[in-house]
Amino acid sequence: MKKGSQEMSNTQNRSARSRAWWRCFTAAAFVAAGWIGLASAQPVPMFASPLANVVALSASATIELTMDWLTVVFNTTREGSDPAVVQGQLRQALEAALAEARRSARPGDVLVRTGGFALQPRYGQKGVVTGWQGHAELVIEGRDTAAIAQMLGRIQTLTVGRVAWSLSREARERVESEVAAQAIARFRTRADEVARQFGMSGYALREVSVGGNEQGGAPPVVMMRAQAARAAADESLPVEAGKAQVTSTVSGTIQLK
């Protein structure tokens, strides 16, 4: 009985070793087949050859508009030995100007917001604080330029520090599609001309990008304190809008054919 059990165990061990050997053989065969396939495959070049008859082009179009957005920055400066007193003076001047400006504020036409507000120490020769200086700003902007200009005679606690013209977002967006269409048409015309000059029958567009920006316009007018005081005494500040240019540029490559 014991001898029969031992023979059965030996048979099972030989069967297990046979199955393990067959699995190893099968795996090795698959690996060898993979290497043979890789060796017989065509080599892939590291760098593709450049396309022939490819030309880079660009074209642009511009529309000139009258700037319709006026920005006026009012400011004031206070000095003193007590920072709390200086801060209180700035707050009082700013609150009075805000109350006056809010009377004419209208969404989209006249916008009112506070600008910078700073309080800094002044130092003497030995690095000792000798006083404090503060600065506050009020910004009024919008497309109702007449109403904004008239505020200069009513706001008495701040003076005019800067006046600037720009193009409103709505005015720019109204012409962006038109100027982009003009730039695209000029790009296509230029591509046709290049293809014809090279003796080709046409072209295929490979890649293209369309971009735009706003240029031109007068720089901000910075007013000195004496000039600002005289302007504040007038009923309004004479303002004249300048011109701005909305430009669209199309760049890309074509393949002649």
Query: Which class for 33: exposed (0-12), middle (13-18), buried (19 or more C-beta within 10 A)?
Result: exposed
Any idea which residue has 């109350």 for tokens?
A: 99
Q: In whole angstroms, give the CA distance from residue 193 to residue 90.
A: 65
What's the DSSP call for residue 45? P
Q: In whole angstroms, give the CA distance from residue 90 to residue 109.
A: 27
- pLDDT mean by block of 10 residues, the chain; 257 residues: 48 54 49 45 52 91 93 95 95 95 90 94 90 96 89 88 91 92 96 94 93 64 44 57 92 94
The per-residue pLDDT for 13 is 52
The per-residue pLDDT for 51 is 76
